[in-house]
A and B are shown apart, each in its own frame.
Chain A
Amino acid sequence: DAGVIQSPRHEVTEMGQEVTLRCKPISGHNSLFWYRQTMMRGLELLIYFNNNVPIDDSGMPEDRFSAKMPNASFSTLKIQPSEPRDSAVYFCASSLLAGPSYEQYFGPGTRLTVT
């Protein structure tokens, strides 16, 4: 199993540009999480999908952020327009069943730098 796959691994963009981060969860997992990690705020949950349906997006910072999961094997996190304060490492994680009592497997992350 290849694990959770994220792309790109690194993204450098200018303020105002659109950024799209991609995630392929582990096959068979039905829960998908998007996290943001910064030194100041640590690991923050942005959005949670269960069976491709967004369950909780209360962690999404603002309307510039949006996430989709069109099928069980693909999800995107889009930032438009991007701002320097969006610079962070974005992790996607998946788990087998809903609920926190099941291990979340993290992808390698996308390091985003907005200049």
Chain B
Amino acid sequence: GENVEQHPSTLSVQEGDSAVIKCTYSDSASNYFPWYKQELGKRPQLIIDIRSNVGEKKDQRIAVTLNKTAKHFSLHITETQPEDSAVYFCAAPFRDYKLSFGAGTTVTVRA
């Protein structure tokens, strides 16, 4: 099945700095890559996604890049703020309907 590896598992950044989370996937047929944010005690919520026909997508302070050749994609958060502190999950599709989730990255933004 689809194997999604996510790094790092924890990330501590100073407020205002950038945060980068990387994921690799195994199924070359995968064509959709969402990122979910889960605040403590809350549900996962989609924050950005990218499809395989583009290499980069931006939405205000967050961006996702995709390298299909290398089978990896990354989440970039710029000008981090305390409210960016959360667990972030990447995911990739398997069997057209399953999402295989990465193990998650706990991001802590230090004030």
List A residues at the B interface (Cβ < 8 Å): 31, 42-43, 45, 48, 50, 55-56, 91, 98-101, 103-104, 106-109
Contact = CB atoms under 8 A, between A and B. Distances in A.
The B contact surface, by secondary structure, is strand
Contact of B45 (A43, A98, A106, A109): A106
Contact of B43 (A31, A42, A91): A91
A80 B49 CA distance: 37
A45 B99 CA distance: 8
Interface of B: 31-32, 34, 42-46, 49, 51, 89, 91, 93-99, 101-104
Nearest to A4: B43
A48 B98 contact: yes
Nearest to A101: B32
A60 to B, nearest CB: 13
B31 to A, nearest CB: 7
Contact of A43 (B31, B46, B97, B101): B101
Contacts of B94: 100
Given A43-B89, A108-B42, 12 more contacts: A42-B101, A43-B44, A48-B97, A50-B97, A56-B97, A99-B96, A100-B93, A100-B97, A100-B99, A101-B31, A104-B99, A107-B43
A98 B93 CA distance: 12
Counting chain A CB atoms within 10 Å of each CB, the highest count among B34, B43, B103 belongs to B43
